[in-house]
Structure 1
Amino acid sequence: MGVTTYTHEATTPVSPTRLFKALVVDSDNLIPKLMPQVKNIEAEGDGSIKKMSFVEGSPIKYLKHKIHVVDDKNLVTKYSMIEGDVLGDKLESISYDLKFEAHGNGGCVCKSIIEYHTKGDYVLKDEEHNEGQKQGMELFKIVEAYLLANPSVYA
């Protein structure tokens, strides 16, 4: 098993607290409302496993994430994708470490560290990461637009 690590930063005029609440704390409710391809997000067991189900016909059926940390004081979350179509037969898991920090005039920079844990001797290609990053940024931009259009939400 190998590990390939990428880092990324995204800035937004939305405050770190609002973005954290939307993307982390209330994601189970907000994401299905904003993304029509997401059917629902349900907690399993003690709530540390989240299953995101997609609508019929979507290229992805479901994803399961294991939540390791949700620190609303320091605006940090750590979780891993542990199951789902995206992992295929080449990835064991994908770990995410996100931190939301104040930036600029009330805005935020979201810093992420993403670790791909591969199966066997498979070497992750940059294109594979770039596709996942693109999808993550689409979600980020959709939530950002929603928060900018609704300034009292998560205030």
Structure 2
Amino acid sequence: MGVITLENEFVVGVAPAKLFKAYCLDTDTLLPKILPEHIKSSEIVEGNGGPGTIRKITFTEGKELSYAKQKIEAIDEENLTYSFSLIEANVWKDAVEKVTYDHKFEPTPEGGSICKRTSTYHIKGDAEINKDQIKDVYGKKTAGLFKAIEAYFLANPDA
């Protein structure tokens, strides 16, 4: 089994605590509202929202990814860190055992945030995946997610 590790930084014009709350704590209610064209639902299927919790995200029809299950590994509201593993999805079933995403939300001088994310892909056996494709495609998708959150809060500052 191989391991691929990628690091990304996403700059978002939303304060770190607000971004952390939206992305990590209010996922089930906020993301389907912000991205209804992509996310049909998000729900906890096991646990209480803390470490060990399993969340299922169902995407709208016609997307490459129809669902994903995440396991919360760690959550630290005080230090604005959050870690979850993608443990089940209908893509990469034969190549990837799991992907762990570690996030750290930090302030920018302008009052926004930088989300520093390390993604660790645990590859099954001798399967091969294209590191550049992952970085390009999934980096762009995550950047789009953060931009949608930013746009939501810019349009709804009291939310």
Corresponding residue number in structure 1 for 2:72: 67
State the number of aligned residues. Answer: 153
The alignment yields a C-alpha RMSD, in angstroms, of: 1.3
Gaps of 5+ in 2: none
Structure 2 residue 41 is matched with structure 1 residue 40: yes
CA distance in structure 1 between the partners assigned to 2:134 and 2:108 by the alignment: 29
CA distance in structure 1 between the partners assigned to 2:30 and 2:89 by the alignment: 21
TM-score, normalised with respect to structure 1:
0.92
Is the 2:106–2:114 contact (alpha carbons within 8 Å) kept by the matching residues of 1? yes
CA distance in structure 1 between the partners assigned to 2:34 and 2:112 by the alignment: 21
Note the C-alpha offset of 1:34.
1.4
Is the 1:10–1:111 contact (alpha carbons within 8 Å) kept by the matching residues of 2? yes
Is the 1:4–1:124 contact (alpha carbons within 8 Å) kept by the matching residues of 2? no
Q: Which runs of 4+ in 1 moved over 3 A?
A: none
Q: 1:115-155 CA distances to partner (integer Å, 9 max, x unpaired)?
A: 111111223311133211111111111001111222122xx
TM-score, normalised with respect to structure 2:
0.90
Is the 2:85–2:98 contact (alpha carbons within 8 Å) kept by the matching residues of 1? yes
More displaced 10-residue stretch of structure 1: 67-76 or 127-136: 127-136
- Tell me which of 128, 134, 137 is aligned to 1:128: 134
CA distance in structure 2 between the partners assigned to 1:12 and 1:132 by the alignment: 17
Structure 2 residue 102 is matched with structure 1 residue 93: no
Corresponding residue number in structure 2 for 1:13: 13
Q: Matched residue of 1:132: which SS?
A: helix
Q: What letter is aligned with 2:136?
A: N
CA distance in structure 2 between the partners assigned to 1:114 and 1:65 by the alignment: 14
Note the C-alpha offset of 1:104.
1.1
Q: What letter is aligned with 1:89?
A: D
- Tell me which of 140, 143, 153 is aligned to 1:137: 143
Structure 2 residue 158 is matched with structure 1 residue 152: yes
Percent of counterpart pairs with the same letter? 41
